[in-house]
Chains A and B, each alone.
Chain A
Amino acid sequence: MKRNKPLALVAGVALLSLAACGGGGDDSSSSGSGSDRSFGEQTGGTKDAKRQGPAAEVDGATAGGTVTVYLPGDPGPNSLDPTDGWSVTGNSIQQALTHRSLTQYVRDSETGDPVLVPDLATDLGTANEDYTEWTFTIRDDATWEDGKPVTAEEVAFGMQRSLDADTFPSGPGTEYSKQYFLDGDSYGGPYTDKGKKYDGITVNGQDVTIKMATPFPDMDYWGAFMAMGPAPLGNASKPPNYGQDPLSNGPYMIEDFQPNQELTLVKNEQWDPNSDPGRHQYVDKWVFKFNQDQAKVDQIMLSDNTDSQTAISTALGSDKYTEANDALGDRLVQQTSQCVSTLTPDYTKITDINVRKALAYAYPYEDVWFATGEVPGVTRIPANSVMPPGMAGKKDFQVDGEQITYNPEKAKELLAEAGEEGYEITMVYYEVDPLAVAGQKQITKGFEEAGFKVKAIPVQVSPYDIWLDPDNKTNKQLNLRGVNWCSDWPAGSTMLPPLLKTDAVYNTAQFSEDAIDQKMKDIATLPLDEQGDAWGALDEEIMTDYFPIIPTAFRNDLFVFGSKIGNPTGDGALGAPNYKDVFVMQ
């Protein structure tokens, strides 16, 4: 899952929320002075197939009130069509409040870990032995906002829509439905292949059965995406108009949506709490304000006036961190995200592993974090491999025995060993963002001290536009790129293949090894309980043997809650505030 604003990712400006499936940070210990804020143990998610509605009451929760959510620097989604949703911001809001799908995550109130529980399905689905056929039984008491029941046909239709890559080119279905569902590569979806019958998804009474092209053990996780939810049949859900005002089936419905500005949600009276094991309907009204100015929001949240008492901010400026940490206590929530920032040396150009390692030693980690407005050790922590902490099978290994830190002497030795002293690095940076410029200065300085030559090209568009465009003339010159990636669910299959499989879109390192590709394929066929460890082992193997990608940091987010917001917590599944369980204290 990528973020709405990749620029910020590249620049390393942690102003946005990210997708994540880790546990929540240990927030309660930090009400004192700020210096002792640290992370709790992260663990992978758990599953509870038997959870039934209504969702457990939150201690002390009261109904009523309006919550305003400020999203600094975050443009928000352009379309609310569930099939199109593949951004952290949009999915975290819609999946928690307006759009239901097969499964969902709830936050375990004791451990803070996300738990995968049923949503529109009565359980987490049943698969056949080799995970090539999944059956979900759709519950009969869920309703749309107009009072009509959600039918199994509508769920099946919603899932078929996710196969329409031409209509929803940036939807998550392009990665998962197209790849795993039967005939996903040949069937163009209900809009592109109009009238064509699709055999991959069949409905029998309340049962929806999905046939897979290849074994897909993670279907229950994939079911937690709102793209795996219902859509009204026929023209009622025709894109692109449906994306401006989609029919809601969660506890809230859309009152007003102005893309990149504001989203207002009000109570959906037709939603039955007994039908939903995860969501609450405490708050009367939600107002999401996109593209806010960080400095302004920080002032509002720290002022604790009547407006900000019932407000939430999804980011905190690093310059206000100390002040906020002292003043807010529990109301400043630190949320781990299952995200990794990386540098990707071009595997076809920088062929010597020693040069790639020298780059890793030449990158001035802490200096870059400072210069780009991060709080070292809080919003950025050192990384050892591609898989983020808390992911099943994650190994706590170090490529060179200990954590790679900035060490120009070591980098020089490695360069000398490779016989490549004065190796020239060509990279781009986003000139429009002063923080990105400051970060690039640090990188250039670090690399040059380690004996590299650096050619840094300023660009005025998102670096992703350069890196992902194979025909771009600037891109052709580059031998060092980068990518920041968040997992879609806590499994290595959403981290390693998208970044390191041959010809994957976000494989900006151009890494390609047949042996590794084959291993990625093989892991998908392993029994489910062995897959986690297999991904962890593959992660270690890739890093140790090839070192094709330089992980620079694991990422964390800071959320600020107003003083009258009850249950200030983060949603570990999506790396957003825990919208599901929040209430206004009366």
Chain B
Amino acid sequence: MSQPTAPETLGSLTDETPVDPNSKASQEIAGKSPLRIAAGRLLKDKIAMACAFVILFFILIAIFAGVISDFFGVNTDTQSPSQFLDVLNGGMPKPEYGPPNGGFTMDHPFGIAPRSADDNLAYWLYGARTSLMIATGATLFATIVGIVVGLLAGFLGGVVDRVLSFFVDTFLTVPFILAALTIAPILNERFNDSDNYPTIQKFSLVAVLALFGWMGMARLIRGEVLSLREREFVQAARVLGMPTSRILFKELMPNLAAPIIISVSLMLPAFVAAEAGLAFLGIGVTDGASWGRTISFATTYFEQYPLYLWEPLIGVVLLVLSLNLLGDAIRDALDPKTRR
């Protein structure tokens, strides 16, 4: 005979109606892992699903930026402004090439940029790619570093914990923007005559973002591990003589899945916004498409040509908002204590 459910376990605090353990419904639930339960909840969350679609949309855009631009017949090549722009009208695009003075055209569905005559659609598509690529890259690196540091510090404790925690605290004290501003000219000095300068620039941006983004993850994991390592299953594994690496990755990691997923889903939008912010300040991607860079160009034209500013702005806002809301929804779904 089973014990009655203790008050602090999953069933009693959720709003799910209690079911008879021997009924059919109960047997369907029986085989589900916590992650599957969470996924089921997430699928029922309308906002989360809407956000997921928006994010999927941007991911597809980022992956197929080239194909989509070809389909519309646009590209990010340098154009000749004198051909497309109107001297007598403050350097705005000529009416036949679209807004603000003419109607939309299929040649340039998003219009063209004043001053440089670049195609807005192509820059918008490739801007999405830059944005997602850098944010994903940075999240990946920051997560891996954060997990490893957090696991080691939490599980090994003692001197290792103190040394690693010191590093975490040190990195937390360095002002991120200041560091990014300092590193840009140093990299330029070293690599400016290299042919791969744009690629190096992107990698360095990922490195800078990751370098100042892993500490939160490390602290979170360390805290979780500290509470887990004294639990019976870990003790049992130790007694059985499992190597530390196996305990870390086979015993502890699965129990850390929830905090890691939550952390990652909130880190992504932060990096998207940080990348755009850095580009707006003129560091980061200087050679190529970037939403933040387009925004910084467009601010001066807001009165005459608002569309030019709205396009990248809507891109950034929509992506960051969707990622944030989805992150929140994932956290709610994974947290058994949430009431909705």
Contacts and interface: CB of A to CB of B under 8 A. Distances in A.
Interface of A: 34-35, 295, 317-323, 364, 366-367, 370-371, 373, 375-377, 431-432, 434-435, 437-438, 441-442, 444-445, 455, 457-460, 474, 477
Contacts of B114: 319
Contacts of B189: 460
B192 A319 contact: no
Contact of A376 (B77, B82, B184, B301): B82
Contacts, number: 88
Nearest to A318: B91
A370 B193 contact: no
A373 B82 contact: no
A417 B35 CA distance: 73
Given A442-B78, A477-B193, A318 B286 contact: no
Contact of A458 (B85, B115, B192, B293): B192
Contact of A444 (B78, B82, B87): B78
11 contacts: A295-B299, A320-B90, A321-B90, A322-B90, A364-B82, A366-B82, A434-B296, A437-B286, A442-B78, A458-B197, A458-B286
A35 B89 CA distance: 8
Contacts of B91: 318-319, 321, 370, 373, 375
B87 A376 contact: yes
B90 A295 contact: no
B117 A370 contact: yes
A266 to B, nearest CB: 35
Contact of B188 (A455, A458, A477): A458
Main secondary structure of the interface of A (DSSP, over half): helix
Contacts of A460: 184-185, 188-189
Given A319-B301, A370-B116, A432-B282, A459 B192 contact: yes
5 A-B pairs with least C-beta separation: A370-B81, A322-B90, A366-B82, A445-B78, A460-B185
Contacts of B80: 364, 367, 442, 445
Q: Which of A318, A367, A432, A477 gathers most chain B CB within 10 Å?
A: A367
Interface in B55-94: 77-78, 80-82, 85, 87-91
Nearest to A324: B90
Interface string B263-294: 00000000000000000001000110000010
Nearest to A477: B193
Interface residues of B, number: 32
Given A373-B115, A431-B286, A295 B300 contact: yes
Contact of B82 (A370, A434, A457): A370
Nearest to B82: A366
B188 A441 contact: no
Contacts of A432: 282
Contacts of B185: 460
B190 to A, nearest CB: 11
Q: Which of B77, B88, B185, B197 gathers most chain A CB within 10 Å?
A: B88
A441 B76 CA distance: 12
Contacts of B27: none
A438 B116 contact: yes
B104 interface: no
Contacts of B116: 370-371, 438, 441-442
B297 interface: yes
A407 to B, nearest CB: 13
B304 interface: yes
A431 B90 CA distance: 25
A319 B287 contact: no
B120 to A, nearest CB: 15
B116 to A, nearest CB: 5
Nearest to A460: B185
Given A322-B90, A366-B82, A434-B297, 19 more contacts: A295-B300, A319-B115, A321-B91, A364-B80, A364-B82, A367-B82, A370-B117, A373-B115, A375-B87, A376-B82, A376-B87, A377-B87, A431-B192, A432-B282, A438-B115, A445-B78, A445-B80, A458-B286, A460-B184
